[in-house]
């Protein structure tokens, strides 16, 4: 049995697999990836030395845990395929392999939903939607990761279904901790706030850095120097904030000397309701996440 199988071999799946292998949490032989795109499968097999397949049911049969990393619009088809296979005769799950490695002994049937851990990173797909397709007893964990996971600096939050155990939760935290930080939440509704803050948050940071660099350019800096200074300022401030026991407000006061340049800039931020704009933006993203979940 593989320890972890990926349904979908896109960028996030590749980043997670790379992180798990780099941290030696798993070996290549512990992983298997299914993907519909032959060039993608070849790339993953070559770069990560993992088994690949075009057949999702091979991953279902051969993996103790499955990480579902397909687009939200495709997940219903994937869930239906797996649910049907778990209800079908042995041949459905133990049929011909379309794999990069030789066949081995099939897993005995019947296969129950509780026999596998299903971890989904499909945005907006609720636990109820997963368990409705797979069965009420299915061990399901829903995760909201973010794009910086692709450079090992991600932030993920996860919620487990009633059928999943704390051991399952710990397993999932270990996976996403391999590419950054990960937390477990008790309330699935909080994932809308997570989506708005950390899921969409990288775009807000990119926007702020762009605005900061553009402002530097308008004051006479070259584009190359402006973006270099903006990025390093962001990195330094983030590291200082992470290491310091002081609050953000305290750190702001240290930089903002009375009557100085920083105070002048902060006054302009206050005049233009900067904090309120950020709050409104996060709220809009959270509302959109809720709407997508309902649809």
Q: What is the pLDDT of residues 200-247, one digit of tens each?
A: 999 999 999 999 999 999 999 999 999 999 999 999 999 999 999 999
Tell me the two tokens of residue 125. 């797909």
Task: Return the CATH fold of 4-190.
Answer: Rossmann fold (3.40.50)
Omega before 110 cis (within 30°)? yes
Torsion angle in degrees (nearest 10) through CA of 263, 236, 275, 189: -160
Q: Of the ranges 5-9, 37-41, 73-77, 172-176, which one carries the lowest mean pLDDT score?
A: 73-77
Rounded to the nearest 10 degrees, the angle between the axes of helix 201-218 and helix 223-243 is 130
Helices (H), 34-95: 38-48, 56-62, 75-87, 90-93
Element (H, E) at 289: helix 274-294
pLDDT tens-digit map of 99-120: 444 444 454 567 888 899 999 9
pLDDT-derived band at 146 (thresholds 50, 70, 90) equals very high
Query: Start-end ranges of CATH 1.10.3730.10 in the chain?
Result: 201-294
Among left, alpha and beta (phi > 0; psi -120 to 50; other), residue 259 is left
Q: Which of 123, 114, 122, 110 is nearest to 64 (CA)?
A: 114
Q: Of the ranges 6-10, 94-98, 130-134, 194-198, which one carries the lowest mean pLDDT score?
A: 94-98
pLDDT-derived band at 90 (thresholds 50, 70, 90) equals low
Query: Start-end ranges of CATH 3.40.50.720 in the chain?
Result: 4-190
CATH 3.40.50.1100 assigned to domain 201-294? The reply is no
Residues present in the chain in total: 295
> Measured on CA atoms in the order 47, 42, 84, 187, is the torsion positive or negative?
positive
Tell me the two tokens of residue 102. 């030789």
Across the chain, mean pLDDT equals 92
């Amino acid at each position: 049995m593989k320890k972890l199988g990926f349904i979908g071999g896109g960028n996030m799946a590749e980043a997670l697999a790379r992180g798990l292998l780099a941290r030696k949490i798993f070996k290549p032989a512990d992983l298997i990836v299914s993907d519909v795109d032959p060039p993608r499968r070849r790339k993953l097999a070559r770069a990560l030395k993992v088994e690949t397949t075009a057949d999702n049911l091979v991953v279902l049969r051969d993996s103790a845990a499955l990480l579902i990393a397909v687009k939200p619009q495709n997940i219903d088809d994937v869930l239906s395929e797996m649910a049907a296979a778990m209800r079908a005769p042995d041949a459905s799950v133990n049929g011909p392999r379309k794999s990069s490695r030789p066949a081995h002994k099939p897993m005995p049937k019947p296969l129950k939903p509780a026999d596998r851990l299903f971890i989904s990173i499909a945005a907006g797909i609720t636990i109820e939607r997963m368990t409705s397709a797979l069965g009420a007893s299915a061990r399901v964990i829903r995760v909201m990761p973010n794009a910086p996971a692709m450079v090992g600096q991600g932030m993920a939050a996860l919620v487990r279904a009633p059928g999943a155990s704390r051991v399952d939760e710990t397993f999932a935290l270990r996976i996403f901790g391999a590419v950054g930080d990960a937390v477990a939440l008790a309330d699935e509704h909080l994932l809308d706030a997570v989506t708005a803050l950390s899921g969409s948050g990288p775009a807000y940071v990119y926007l702020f850095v762009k605005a900061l660099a553009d402002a530097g350019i308008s004051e006479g800096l070259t584009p190359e120097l402006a973006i270099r200074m903006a990025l390093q300022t962001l990195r330094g401030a983030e590291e200082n904030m992470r290491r310091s026991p002081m609050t953000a407000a305290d750190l702001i006061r240290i930089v903002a000397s009375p009557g100085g340049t920083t105070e002048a800039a902060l006054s302009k931020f206050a005049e233009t309701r900067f904090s309120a704009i950020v709050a409104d933006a996060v709220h809009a993203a959270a509302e959109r996440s809720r709407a997508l979940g309902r649809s």
